[in-house]
Amino acid sequence: MFEMVEQLSVKPDLTRSQMLEAFGPSLEFEKQLGLFTTFKTGGPAKFFLKVKSAQEASVALKTAKRLNLPFFLIGGGSNLLISDYGIDGIVVKVDVRGLKIIDQTNILCGAGEDLMALINFAAVNGLTGLEFASGIWGTVGGAIFGNAGAYGGEIKDVTREITLVDITGNIKKVDRDYCKFTYRGSNLKQTREIVIDTFFELKKGDKIKIRERIDEILTIRSTKHPIEGKSAGSFFKNIPDPTQPYGKLPAGKLLDEVGCKGLSVGGAQVYEKHANIIVNTGTATSSDIRKLADLMKQRVLDKLGILLEEEVIQLGQF
């Protein structure tokens, strides 16, 4: 998950003690952001802060605006490529936790929870509707922000209500329609609001069948996706096409057709089992990954006349 809440042109010249006084003792300095992305690349954040509630997020945002400090938000870092130069501002990681059954068939979930934790929690409680997302990396907040989906399902299908913090620091609850969900996107990318928690509307189901479907999808993914590799999953969005299964032409199919499997730049390599996945083989920089993605994109454009759109979000200077 990623959200740029505010990027201001005036940067303060504040001392360490002044920053600690403004944001509190949990503020960290020169934090390596590669620790928080699945690519495991990227430079440091000048300032770094975890928030565990809507109130903490609100205070952090208001303080950053008051100090004219560029403010960036990250979640699970599973769909994010951060510049090797790092971020000259404050990076806030949403760490709002909690899973709770509401009215027997619904779940209230903190944005900082792993998506698979939510799926497993639903399965244990015999609630169906989230199985499609099995194996998708990242946090629940990121899933809402980017309308995560697979196998014909999208997170918007089971979303009822969301708690947000807007760019002025106000806390509010909104319904699904407010987000204007699209394929791998939502209006939150424009409003730049922070997801705090989400109310999911599910249905009662058979626990055994739910678990079987989860395991089935995980098995399918294991044949195409790196299990332990440093990757962000699919780098490019699939292309809307009603003639295709689930209404999408897989970008991986196009990338495979133009011979992208095995391509490499520095320590970045296209996964041998899936042409739309870039893996950090151990020594890649964010620059390597970006250059490889550009090469892949250009091949598809030159040979097939199709311009791919990135699913992975890029943050910082490249």
* Distance between CA atoms of residues 278 and 208, nearest Å: 35
List beta partners, residue 261: none
Q: Which candidate in 234, 286, 290, 299 is catalytic?
A: 234
Cβ-count burial of 15 within 10 angstroms (0-12 exposed, 13-18 middle, 19+ buried)? exposed
> 127-128 and 194-201: which strand pairing?
unpaired
For residue 307, give the amino acid letter: L
Angle at 187 between CA 186 and CA 188, to 5 degrees: 90
Q: Which candidate in 3, 154, 193, 311 is catalytic?
A: 311
Active-site residue 311, yes or no? Answer: yes
Rg (CA), the chain: 20
Q: Which candidate in 6, 28, 160, 184 is catalytic?
A: 184
List beta partners, residue 71: 6, 90
Contacts of 125 (CB under 8 A, 6+ apart): 101, 107
Report the SS3 class of residue 131.
helix
What does the DSSP assignment read for 37-103? Answer: STT----EEEEEEEE-SHHHHHHHHHHHHHTT--EEEESS-TTEEE-TT-EEEEEEEE----EEEET
Q: Residue 215 corresponds to which tokens in the numbers above?
A: 């395991």
- Listed residue (139, 145, 140, 132) closest to 108, CA to CA: 140
- Match 């329609």 to its residue by tokens: 177
Active-site residue 234, yes or no? Answer: yes
Contacts of 51 (CB under 8 A, 6+ apart): 57, 60, 92, 93, 94, 95, 96
Would you name the residues annotated as active-site residues?
A: 184, 234, 311
